[in-house]
């Protein structure tokens, strides 16, 4: 199977076997001319197949993740972010070009599928995942399948309202989880509370560099900085509360936390898990645990391949 993870700056690709092992992986730059991306994609796959002395008959299909709103059943892209695609039958067009079966879904949802197949998901039938990075992404698997919703918006936990009078979110509303638990949100919370006259390693750092990142905040927290520690604890608590509420929808066996902010340390994941266990309904938490995602950047291509396998098997039975 071919797995492709289409991003705004690069497209990651991989040849993945039935067991989920990556045979070969590579990447190409995303063409600034969005109309040319599909031809680029097939050209690089064809080149790789030739270079490895494979034939099209060896390939079960192509799975591709697109960054935006996608109908995973038809492979239709409603709208993407960072790439100028709108109302495009991506699966159909790539199928025509390649002569191979093509399955397309939202990139974050495919990453969740990948984590569930070969990562920290442990092949849970129901799973929830969030990515803590510049923004807060989310995805859900319900009864073994990606949950798209009516127009591709299901599982967007980052836009749960935490504070209706809170900060303006990228989505145009106020006080979404993303305004608190993203890297930007964590930095903003600390900046608001920081007393610049205080002599702490944090304030000294800020005065010297005129900026502080989420990574620094986690580092200072580990070194005992009270403000950083408190901010992270509060953030974990809000995350635990939102996850406990969201868990009522799919009753997940596992909740996975991924993205740059989740790399901070296991103690952060433990804090989120504790808050989740505290807020969640007994029957929800008795079968659910919060874990750190494992696959990093490979989750997308593994998930795309997993999606090919899953959809092809559906057709067989």
Phi, psi of 89 (to 5 degrees): -85, 75
Closest alpha carbon to 310 in 109, 174, 165: 109
Q: What gap in Å lies between CA 121 and CA 259, rounded to an integer?
A: 15
Nearer to Zn ion by C-beta: 64 or 176?
A: 176
Q: How far is the CB of 72 from Zn ion (least distance, A)?
A: 22
Question: What x-and-dash track marks residues 158-187 binding Zn ion by CB under 5 A?
Answer: -x---------x-x----x-----------
In angstroms, the Cα distances linking 131 to 14, 16, 51, 76, 108 are: 22, 24, 35, 24, 8
Q: How far is the CB of 293 from Zn ion (least distance, A)?
A: 22
Token pair listed for 262: 């989740």
Q: How far is the CB of 185 from Zn ion (least distance, A)?
A: 11
Closest alpha carbon to 130 in 217, 260, 248, 234: 260
Question: What x-and-dash track marks residues 58-77 binding Zn ion by CB under 5 A?
Answer: --------------------
Show the beta-strand stretches assigned E in the chain: 2-6, 10-16, 22-29, 62-66, 68-71, 76-80, 86-88, 102-106, 127-132, 136-142, 145-146, 254-258, 289-292
Nearer to Zn ion by C-beta: 41 or 261?
A: 261
- Decide: 18 and 35 in contact? Cβ < 8 Å: no
Q: How far is the CB of 161 from Zn ion (least distance, A)?
A: 8
Q: How far is the CB of 213 from Zn ion (least distance, A)?
A: 22
Q: How far is the CB of 17 from Zn ion (least distance, A)?
A: 39
Report the Cα–Cα distance between both ends of the chain, in Å, rounded.
19
Nearer to Zn ion by C-beta: 185 or 258?
A: 185
Nearer to Zn ion by C-beta: 115 or 178?
A: 178
From the list 91-99, 156-164, 214-222, 278-286, the region that binds Zn ion by CB under 5 A is: 156-164
Kindly state the number of chain residues that form the binding site for Zn ion, as judged by CB under 5 A.
4
Return residues touching Zn ion (CB under 5 A): 159, 169, 171, 176
């Amino acid at each position: 199977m071919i797995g492709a993870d289409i991003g705004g700056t690069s497209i990651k690709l991989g040849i993945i076997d039935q067991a989920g092992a990556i045979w070969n992986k590579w990447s190409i730059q995303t063409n600034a001319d969005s109309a040319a991306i599909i031809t680029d994609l097939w050209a690089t796959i064809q080149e790789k197949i030739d270079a490895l002395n494979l034939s099209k008959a060896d390939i079960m299909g192509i799975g591709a993740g697109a960054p935006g709103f996608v109908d995973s059943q038809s492979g239709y892209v409603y709208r993407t972010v960072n790439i100028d695609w709108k109302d495009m039958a991506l699966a159909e067009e790539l199928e025509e070009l390649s002569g191979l079966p093509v399955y397309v879904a939202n990139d974050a949802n495919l990453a969740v599928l990948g984590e569930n197949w070969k990562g920290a998901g442990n092949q849970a039938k129901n799973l929830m995942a969030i990515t803590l990075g510049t923004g807060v992404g989310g995805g859900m698997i319900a009864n073994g399948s990606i949950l798209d919703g009516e127009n591709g918006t299901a599982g967007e936990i980052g836009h749960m309202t935490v504070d209706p009078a809170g900060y303006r979110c990228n989505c145009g509303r106020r006080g979404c989880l993303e305004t608190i638990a993203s890297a930007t949100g964590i930095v903003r919370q600390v900046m608001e509370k920081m007393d610049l006259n205080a002599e702490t390693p944090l304030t000294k750092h800020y005065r010297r560099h005129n900026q502080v990142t989420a990574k620094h905040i986690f580092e200072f927290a580990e070194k005992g900085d009270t403000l950083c520690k408190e901010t992270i604890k509060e953030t974990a608590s809000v995350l635990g509360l939102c996850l406990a509420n969201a868990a009522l929808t799919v009753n997940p066996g596992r909740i996975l936390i991924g993205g740059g902010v989740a790399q901070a340390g296991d103690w952060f994941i433990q804090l989120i898990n504790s808050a989740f266990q505290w807020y969640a309904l007994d029957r929800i938490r008795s079968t659910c645990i919060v874990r750190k995602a494992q696959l990093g950047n490979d989750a997308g291509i593994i998930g795309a391949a997993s999606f090919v396998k899953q959809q092809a098997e559906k057709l067989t039975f």
